Homo-oligomer: A and B are copies of this chain.
């Protein structure tokens, strides 16, 4: 945090020296930046991916789709502490939002998937989640004429592969960026976009050090950090974070910092989903990460600021899925 403050003072001096001209200079100085709409996406690949994202036939049961746990009607989450998997198994960890997940340094809380495509294959074949296998998912998709035609149009060949499936889902997920939050409007120079209370919340958020981890376009998602820096985080959840990937003891209880974009919608909070509300999450974070007890008024202001990070939610027509053929393997939810 010290480093950030130093950098800020130098930049502020330069800014004032330059006569404080232009909102671009102001924005460049802020630790959070305006979120950029995605570009260079393949629209027909994303369209195919959207269907697959909503298709429960990628699960063994025929009941669970990507959208079941990363529900785009609900901030890209399931709003459950931990998710429900095949046969109602309780998931081990809170489902992170898919919104703006293309901006994450890596996927999953422990960063075990390098990118969205690598992530997308995980739940399909996880016996505790969608409970299928890549081979079965490919058989199902390859038996559906509507999908085969789309694979042909998108990839130039009708052959369905798990790579094609996950590539399409990832391309769709890259569209799920949420611009135009009130905070971004404020950052872009519209100083009426935040109330005095909300702007004050942002000041507290910055000056208390929250921005040390929650910064950049996604207000997080770009680093792994120790949970419980000043005080241990008490939880029954056995997850130990990044150590599971690196095997390094130093990475024990290091988790990917979650994005705070749309945080108003992505409750409950933390990797164990233990905090139901924003006031509770802000209080805990202040205490265990910053060694700081926010007053009730400060907490309320930070929460008011956080709610200005809600951007435009995904806006598209409900996809209509191509029907199974007589040859499509049928779901087996009760076997």
Q: Which residues of A contact B (CB under 8 A)?
A: 54-57, 61-63, 68, 71-75, 78-80, 84, 87-88, 90, 264-265, 267-268, 276-279, 313-321, 323-324, 326, 330-331, 333-334
Contact = CB atoms under 8 A, between A and B. Distances in A.
Nearest to A87: B88
A313 to B, nearest CB: 5
Contacts of A56: 71, 74, 78
Contacts of A68: 63
27 contacts: A55-B73, A56-B74, A56-B78, A57-B79, A62-B80, A63-B80, A72-B318, A73-B318, A73-B319, A73-B320, A73-B321, A74-B321, A79-B324, A79-B331, A80-B331, A88-B88, A88-B333, A90-B334, A264-B323, A276-B326, A277-B326, A279-B326, A314-B318, A314-B320, A315-B317, A315-B318, A316-B318
In this complex, which of A56, A57, A74 has the most chain B Cβ atoms within 10 angstroms of its Cβ?
Answer: A74
A57 B320 CA distance: 24
Number of copies: 2
A161 B54 CA distance: 31
A78 B56 CA distance: 9
Nearest to A55: B73
A314 to B, nearest CB: 7
B73 A54 contact: yes
Contacts of A316: 317-318
The 4 tightest CB contacts between A and B, nearest first, are A88-B88, A277-B326, A313-B320, A73-B321
Contact of A330 (B276, B313, B323): B276
Contacts of A57: 79
A201 B67 CA distance: 38
Nearest to A268: B330
A77 to B, nearest CB: 11
A316 B316 CA distance: 8
A276 to B, nearest CB: 6
Contacts of A74: 56, 321, 323
Contacts of A84: 61, 63, 333
In this complex, which of A79, A278, A279, A316 has the most chain B Cβ atoms within 10 angstroms of its Cβ?
Answer: A79
Contacts of A265: 323
Contacts of A321: 73-74
A319 B318 CA distance: 9
Contacts of A267: 323-324
A323 B74 CA distance: 7
Contacts of A279: 326
A314 B321 CA distance: 12
In this complex, which of A55, A68, A88, A315 has the most chain B Cβ atoms within 10 angstroms of its Cβ?
Answer: A88
Contacts of A276: 326, 330
A258 B72 CA distance: 32
A80 B88 CA distance: 16
Nearest to A307: B323
